[in-house]
Structure 1
Amino acid sequence: MVVDDEPTVRELLCAALRHAGFTVTAAATGGEALEGARTASPDLVLLDVMLPDMDGFEVIRRLREAYAPAAGGRGGHIPVVFLTARDTTRDKIDGLHLGGDDYVTKPFDLQELIARIQAVLRRTGGDPAALLRVADLELDPEGRQATRAGVPVRLSPTEFRLLRHLMVNAGRTVSKAQILDRVWEYDFSGDTGIVDTYISYLRRKLDNGGPKLIHTVHGVGYVLRGPRT
């Protein structure tokens, strides 16, 4: 999740991170960031310090307090990388003492920033290149390959992004609106039919001879889970 109140910087960061293979959400205020952390549970927050409603130091204080008992075995530690023009030594020390995982100052180099994000994710167990597994389904985000029971599954780029989103959220119901936002990354003016279409494509490719993995939650969306025992 990118948190920055400058639209140009925010859009640049989102575009660069998507090009690097990340799924990205954005927030322009501290309040939006805290709500986004609650609803989207991001793997990492890229956080500006100078925000219109509260500074980034207050955001990370509230983040650490509010989500301390978060589920999933990661505690409340959503990794935070500060990205800010506040470049004094005192600011850097404060950001790191409050629980920041890295502190990058503006102006910045995009390639270095992405490398730092990847390094933080490796340290905190949120490596986006890590192999994803649900039952006998495996997805290699780095190699962009999928297998079911060891058999390769050929996927289009959109099918791959959709499957990755479902696997990252395995066991959780994701709404069609969320899928549109995270997979297609632009507004389809309320037409969620394309989600249904691509879910049907995935089912034909994944469920051929094996237990059903993608389940419909009527009136809400879809959930990917292994066979119930």
Structure 2
Amino acid sequence: MGQIDTFDPKRQGDPAARKAGAYYRSVDTAVPGVQVCEHLQQLAPLMDHVTAVRSVHHEVIDEHAAATNRMHTGRAVTGTVLYPSLGSIIANQRGAASDGAPPYVLIGYPNVTRGPGFLGANSGYLYLTDTSQGPAGLSRPAEITDQRQSRRERFLASIGDDAAKINDHRVRDYQDAIKQSLKLSGPDFNRAFQLTQEPDRLRNRYGGEFGQRCLLSRRLVERGVRFIEVSHNLNFLNGAGWDV
């Protein structure tokens, strides 16, 4: 659905009479004077906790990548500066709400407009595309024993000692990102992705795959993740499709 059939309803139209407007009727919300589509009736009483931005626009016609960049960074595409996304800005300025969580999680495919830009790797995102498995790379393969894991971490630490001698903020940011990944690879954070711990009745209320991503987002917020982007449509691998 478009914005006129969700959070920015217009006067109801009439396709038969070729009258432009919304397809569905509007309902009142908890905020006086603010209405939403009738299919958001359960959200309507909670709108005092929602910020609906109705002023976003861009001047490029029929160009999804440009609109995606504008949505994430607030800027037009430029060939000289790679600007950070909103999620990366929050990760950089606020960090995670707890030590055992990343500040920024993307449930969808990665692309440059969602990334940290000039802020560096330490302000990047942790991403996943399968709610049943969690982020790729955080779960240790079954064949990797504790002994092998310890040996790998010692080797990585030795490389880090050499990298520390390089006076380059990009290297330092990358090292910090590696340390965070190792910290998040333990069982505590990975339990957030075990949606089977939720009652079946609750999972059914959340609905299909998109709903399960929203349920996972709630669990991640409870773990201390500060910013989460949930993709509606995972069919566009470059992140430039509709309903991102």
Name the TM tier (shorter chain).
Answer: under 0.3
The structure whose Rg is larger is 2
- Which protein, 1 or 2, shows the higher relative CO under an 8 Å CA cutoff with sep ≥ 6? 2
The structure in which a higher percent of residues are strand is 1
TM-score (norm 1): 0.27
